[in-house]
Amino acid sequence: MNISKNVAELIGNTPLVELHSVTDDVEARVVVKVEYFNPGGSSKDRIAERIIDAAERSGQLQPGGTIVEPTSGNTGVGLALVAQQRGYRTIFVVPDKVSEDKRAVLRAYGAEVIVTPTDAGPDDPRSYYAVSDRLAREIPGAFKPNQYSNPNGPESHYHTTGPEIWRDTDRRLTHFVAGIGTGGTITGTGRFLKEASQGAVQIIGADPEGSIYSNPDDVHQYLIEGVGEDFYPQAFDPSIPDEIVQVSDAEAFDMTRRMAREEGLLVGGSSGMAVVAALKSARMHGLGKDSLMVVLLPDSGRGYLSKIFSDEWMGENGFSDVLSRGTQRPV
Ligand code: PMP
């Protein structure tokens, strides 16, 4: 019989799929690693499992303990899923700009959600950082994973994502492409692939216009979620990427919509962004048929139906050009 003992056993071993339509003007083979196949729906399940394992080993998490983290998205779902399987309480602190849908997902997994005012700055005691710090101090047995500085984030990708890609491409990949948020994915996966290939695999970071990684002198707001930062987190090792490619909101959202319509892959905006970065790099370097690029797609498009996939939202946010360009055209 092939029966998993519990749902957390299904984390990882996500599939690789080749792209055919959005890649029609590049010669390189482009395959994507589809992380929405994880049980919580994103690559963050991987870090949740390893962070919780490590905290149990170090004694930071004891039976009946509580996990407190300021997060609204995928990391919360991953932590809630693994915590629930092991009997921990979870409390997530989210700013009030986070949609009711996202809060409902966390509650559905049994998490408690505390909403804080978005306009409270990091020094304000009502801010979501301050509230989560206070709860972590005050609740007995509380553990705060802190995904931005926890080394188990990148480690999880070093031990799972990297080896899976190496194995599933028969060691033949030439390029790995991933967006940079906390930096855990690119740091851990990239480090493994560099070591395994003795430096041959090129590591390409994808970054939104306005984020610090691609241009520290021009940090500003952007709409792609889950990637880019305005500071350098400890989870990111800047020596790993060979190149960082900047992508605009419009380019990322256009590609995100095309991925669903042309490739049958309903993915999030950071996935569209990573595909754009791969194609830009392939064109810039004139990569040929012997190149095999693997692009990591962190999550599903289900969480973005009322944004990227809504014509109304796209129009209101200045992306009418993307809509009028249609879908069946070369990049
Ligand atoms: N895309 C999405 C949707 C995410 O939630 C994240 C995690 N913040 C990333 C990309 C980036 O991953 P990482 O934090 O490992 O750099």
User: What is the Rg, in whole angstroms, of the alpha carbon atoms belonging to the chain?
Assistant: 19
Amino acid identity at 120: A
Q: Which two tokens stand for residue 199?
A: 């430096």
256 within ligand 1 shell (Cβ under 6 A): no
Q: Ligand 1 centre from 171 Cα, in Å?
A: 25
ipTM above 0.90 for this complex:
yes
Dump pLDDT digits (tens) for 102-114: 899 999 999 999 9
**Which amino acid does the sequence have at 95?**
P
Domains of the chain: 7-37+151-326 (3.40.50.1100), 63-140 (3.40.50.1100)
**Is residue 208 lining ligand 1, measured as CB closer than 6 Å?**
no
**Token pair listed for 18:** 């080749």
CA-proximal residue: ligand 1, atom 8 (nearest): 226
Host H or E run for residue 18: strand 16-18
Residue 20 gets the label, from left (phi > 0), alpha (psi -120 to 50) or beta, of: alpha
Mutate to test the pocket of ligand 1, among 102, 148, 160, 185 (most ligand atoms within 8 A of CB): 185
Judge if the beta carbon of residue 41 lies within 6 A of ligand 1.
no
State the residue for tokens 């960082």: 244
Q: Both ends of the chain: CA-CA distance in Å?
A: 46
142-152 burial code (b ≥16 CB/10 A, e <16)? bbbbbbbebbb
Q: Is the CB of 301 under 6 A from ligand 1?
A: no
Nearest to 291 by CA among 196, 175, 165: 175
Q: What share of the chain is helix, strand, coil (3-state, %, to 5)?
A: 40, 15, 45
CA 270 – ligand 1 centroid, Å: 8
pLDDT value for 119: 82
Rounded CA separation 37/236 (Å):
25
How many of the other CB atoms lie within 10 Å of CB of 200?
11
Distance 292 CA to ligand 1 centre (A): 23
CA distance 8 to 222: 33
Q: Write phi, then psi, for 132 (nearest 5 degrees).
A: -70, -35
Catalytic, 97? Answer no
- pLDDT digit string (tens) for 148-194? 999 999 999 999 999 999 999 999 999 999 999 999 999 999 999 99
pTM exceeds 0.90: yes
Ligand 1 center from residue 179 Cα (angstroms) = 7
Entry field: residues in the chain: 331
Per-residue pLDDT of the chain (331 residues; tens, 9 = 90+): 999 999 999 999 999 999 999 999 999 999 999 999 999 999 999 999 999 999 999 999 999 999 999 987 899 999 999 999 999 999 999 888 777 888 999 999 999 999 998 788 778 999 888 999 999 999 999 999 999 999 999 999 999 999 999 999 999 999 999 999 999 999 999 999 999 999 999 999 999 999 999 999 999 989 999 999 989 999 999 999 999 999 999 999 999 999 999 999 999 999 999 999 999 999 999 999 999 999 999 999 999 999 999 999 999 999 999 887 765 555 5
202 CB near ligand 1 (under 6 Å): no
List helix spans (H) across the chain.
44-58, 74-86, 100-108, 128-138, 152-156, 162-168, 184-196, 249-263, 269-284, 311-316, 320-324
**Beta pairing partners, 36:** none
